[in-house]
Amino acid sequence: MAAHGRAGDRAGLDAFAYLLLVLASVQLLWRQRHPVAVAYGTALCATVYLAAGYPYGPVFLPVALGCFAALVAGRRYAAWGAVALFWAGHAVVGHWLYRYLPPAGDGPAPWGQEGIIAAWVLAVVAVAELTRIRREQWAQARAERERAARRRADEERLRIARELHDVLAHSLSVINVQAGVGLALLDADPEQARTALATIKGASKEALGEVRQVLDTLRAPGDAPRAPAPGLDRLPELVEQAAGAGLVVDVATGGERVTPSPGADLAAFRIVQEALTNVVRHSESRRARVRLDHRLGVLTVTVDDDGPASHAEAGGSGNGLAGMRERAAALGGTIEAGPRPDGGFRVVAELPLAPPAPPSKDSR
C-alpha cells in the first residue's frame, strides 16, 4: 500500500474498488436500525479499500457517517471500536504490510499523515458526541414536559373527583333521607311529606348547578366559572340543608375572623359539608357541632357528633375522608378524623389562611 497521498502512487480504480465503495455506501441505509454493524462494516470496507492500494477520496465518507450514526444512537463503544479498527488497519498496512500489498514498489507512509487522519477522526467523533448529547437533552426536556402535563392532568382529575364526590354525596344523602321521610308520611301527614319533597327539589337543584359548573370547566378549561366557588359564607345554607335531613347543626366561631384565601375558603366549606354528610349517613346522632377558630394565620375547623354509629363505622367509607385529607394537604394543612373518647366522631382540620408560597429557585 502507498500512503503518500499522490495520485500516481495509487492503484487505479477497478471493479473491486467500485464494489467496495458501493458496499460501504449501501450499508448506510441500515445505520438507524443496525448502527453497530454499519459502523464496523463501513470501517472494514474502507480498510480493505486502502489496503488494496486504491486512491484516497470518498471512501472516508461512509466511515464518518457510520460512526456518526452509532455515536448518536448511543453506541459509543461500538463507534470508537470501529474508528480504532480503521485507524489501526491504516497504520499497520501503511507502515508494515505495504511491501506485500499493491501497488508494487510502494514505500512506507509518512507518520505525519497518521496525525492528519487522527485529527480527522477526532473531529468527526467530537461532532457526533455533541449531537448525541444535544439529542439526549432534547429528549429529557420533552419527557419532563410530558411528565408535567400528565401530573397536571392527574391533579385536575383528582380535583374534579373531589368536587363531584362532595357535591353528590351531600346532596344525595339529603335527598335519600327526605325521600324516606316523604314516603313514611305520605298518607299520615301529607303536609310534612310536601315539605320533604320541597327539600328534595331544592337539594337536587343546587346539586345540578354545582355539577354543571364542574362539567363546564371540563368543556372549556380556560373559561372562568359561571358562579363563584362556594365558601364559608354559604355555611348557613349548609346548615339549612342539614336541618332538612333532620340534623340540627350548632355553629360557633372563635378568634378574630380573617378572610381566608379562596382555596382555604373552599376547602373549609367542603370539609364541613363532607363531615355533616357523614353524620347524616353514618351516625344515629341528630345533632352536630361546627366550630371555626381563627388564630395565628390558621383556620381550625372542628365538626363533632355524639354518635353512636348507625353502620359498621362512623365517619364514612373512606373516600370522603381521603378527599378531606387531600384538600388540607394541598394547602399545607392537616386533618385528623376519628372516634371521640366519649363516643361519637370528630373531624379537626387546620388550614393556613394564606396560600402556600411557591418554592424558590434556590430550593430547587
Assign 3-class secondary structure to 90-145.
HHHHHHHHHHHCCCCCCCCCCHHHHHHHHHHHHHHHHHHHHHHHHHHHHHHHHHHH
Q: Are the C-beta atoms of 251 and 235 separated by less than 8 Å?
A: yes
Asked if the peptide bond before residue 308 counts as cis, ω within 30 degrees of 0, the response is yes
Mean pLDDT throughout 306-334?
Answer: 72
Q: What is the pLDDT of residue 292?
A: 92
More confident residue, 124 or 52: 52
**Integer Cα distance of 83 and 361 in angstroms:** 44
pLDDT for residue 312: 46
C-alpha cell at 99: 511491501
SS (H, E, C) the chain: CCCCCCHHHCCCCCHHHHHHHHHHHHHHHHCCCCHHHHHHHHHHHHHHHHHCCCCCCCCHHHHHHHHHHHHHCCCHHHHHHHHHHHHHHHHHHHHHHHHHCCCCCCCCCCHHHHHHHHHHHHHHHHHHHHHHHHHHHHHHHHHHHHHHHHHHHHHHHHHHHHHHHHHHHHHHHHHHHHHHHHHHHCCCCHHHHHHHHHHHHHHHHHHHHHHHHHHHHHHCCCCCCCCCCCCHHHHHHHHHHHHHCCCEEEEEEECCCCCCCHHHHHHHHHHHHHHHHHHHHHECCCEEEEEEEEECCEEEEEEEECCCECCCCCCCCCHHHHHHHHHHHHCCCEEEEEECCCCCEEEEEEEECCCCCCCCHHHC
Per-residue pLDDT band for 99 (boundaries 50, 70, 90) equals: low
Q: How many Å apart are CA 148 and CA 137, to the nearest integer?
A: 16
Q: What is the C-alpha separation between 273 and 171, in angstroms, rounded? A: 10
* Cell 366561631 belongs to residue: 253
Instruction: Give percent of the chain with pLDDT exceeding 70.
Output: 78
Going from the N-terminus, what domains does the chain have, and what CATH number goes with each?
7-109 (no CATH), 232-356 (3.30.565.10)
Q: Enumerate long-range contacts of 126-130, CB under 8 Å, 24 or more apart.
A: 127/68, 128/67, 128/68, 128/71, 128/72, 128/79, 129/71, 129/76
pLDDT higher than 60, residue 342: yes
This prediction has a pTM of: 0.48
Question: Average per-residue pLDDT in the chain?
Answer: 78
Query: What is the pLDDT, as a whole number, of residue 347?
Result: 92
262 vs 300, higher pLDDT: 300
Q: pLDDT per residue over 6-62, tens digit each?
A: 344 667 788 888 898 899 889 989 988 998 999 899 988 988 888 888 887 788 888
Mean of pLDDT values over 349-362: 69
The predicted structure's pLDDT at residue 53: 80
pLDDT at 290: 93
**Can you tell me which residue has the cell 444512537?**
73
Q: Which of 148-162, 187-201, 342-356 has the highest mean pLDDT?
A: 342-356
- pLDDT grade, residue 86 (50/70/90)? confident
User: Residue 219: which pLDDT band, with cuts at 50, 70 and 90?
Assistant: low
How many C-beta atoms lie closer than 10 Å to residue 301's C-beta? 25
